[in-house]
Structure 1
């Protein structure tokens, strides 16, 4: 690994640390507020017991009012704790799949494939390439994510047209590799995402093949820095961009 790549990966770690520090602080705040709400409920329970003892009417009224106030405060604290912990969960999940985390700036060898056009057809298409990166395709595309069974090339090419990235893997890939590839399918940018599909046409000496519109990268072994760099560089660069509010998870056409 060269010095530039090491520096870039250190920068990513620092970015994640900063975001992680903020979300961790929120978690601590949420837990403290939750603890305060629990203390309030315990105190309210004690007040209720005292109210059941032989006290004068005025004292009982005062205790009842104090108990009600304590419960209201405890309910409010519990609600606040739930909101804060919820925000923590959202920030924590978002920080892990921030597309900037993939900007490793690794050296990658990418083939510029011929552009075979982008017409639409419901009929099966015979492609010039075993793993096509352009050409006539289905009018229907797919949702982002990990696929155990390979969808049709016609639909996959449509996804490429929308700027999606496709990671091809061997169907007998190890569970460890599957987990790493699945994690990469969580990344999105604007109206584009990442799909992972099995494909028997990957050469035996290649562990993964990554494609974008008219772009192909073959790797003899999984390399997160190279795949991350490819995704960061080519995601949402297809010839047809769909707004994110329409195409939140793919499969829109």
Structure 2
């Protein structure tokens, strides 16, 4: 699998903040526990100077626990807020990688609430549900009938294996943030992906299978084919998909 090629800023360092917050929180909990333990040991059986020493030690531990708890909250806030306001510029995906894309046969675009038997194992056109899906990362595969509707609106669907490398999952979570007019991106697990492919990327009547995951090829595919479906819906109406 190729490295991420600098297409996005999120990396393992972003998770480092979350791990750090967890460790600090654990230390805070341990500090509270020791403070409570020492407080229980401060009984009337102890001498005055011993009681004073335990009281002072308990007070310092509680102060340390409060500081650690506050620090863990701050680090967690930094982790979740660091991407707020980040722009996902579609032009950043115009990396012009060489890609091999299959022009699939057109199977129509009728709407139906009934289950559809598709000619293609991973369909890119055909009769489909009148309802589409929200853009984003999916952990369970929705019906093809709905996914095909998304393709009709110019969305890009990236199919991945359920046991995909965590680095692939991380990158797909980045890609799904991109928008072009009323079209977006979905990352969906799929058991129909051929065993020799890491991912399969689809647009309306377009398929690209990658034997080795390559984020530059996916970026190029997205840039070239997003919002190129036969039925374009303005962003003000679609509002992230799932509205039709």
Normalising by the residue count of structure 1, what TM-score does the alignment of the two structures yield?
0.64
Residue equivalent to 2:243 = 252
Residue equivalent to 1:110 = 101
Within the alignment, does 1:149 sit opposite 2:134 as a pair? Answer: no
Residue equivalent to 2:225 = 234
Deviation at 1:200, TM superposition (A): 0.5
Deviation at 1:89, TM superposition (A): 4.8
Normalising by the residue count of structure 2, what TM-score does the alignment of the two structures yield?
0.66
5+ residue gaps in structure 1? Answer: 1-8, 17-85
- Counterparts of residues 120-159 of structure 1 (less than 5 Å): 120-159=111-150
Residue equivalent to 2:190 = 199
- Counterparts of residues 165-244 of structure 1 (less than 5 Å): 165-244=156-235
Moved over 2 A (4+): none
Cα distance in 2 between the residues matched to 1:235 and 1:177: 20
- Higher RCO structure, 1 or 2 (CA under 8 Å, sep 6+): 2
Deviation at 1:174, TM superposition (A): 1.9
Cα distance in 1 between the residues matched to 2:202 and 2:106: 13
- Counterparts of residues 19-168 of structure 1 (less than 5 Å): 89-90=84-85, 93-94=86-87, 97-168=88-159
Q: How many residues align?
A: 168
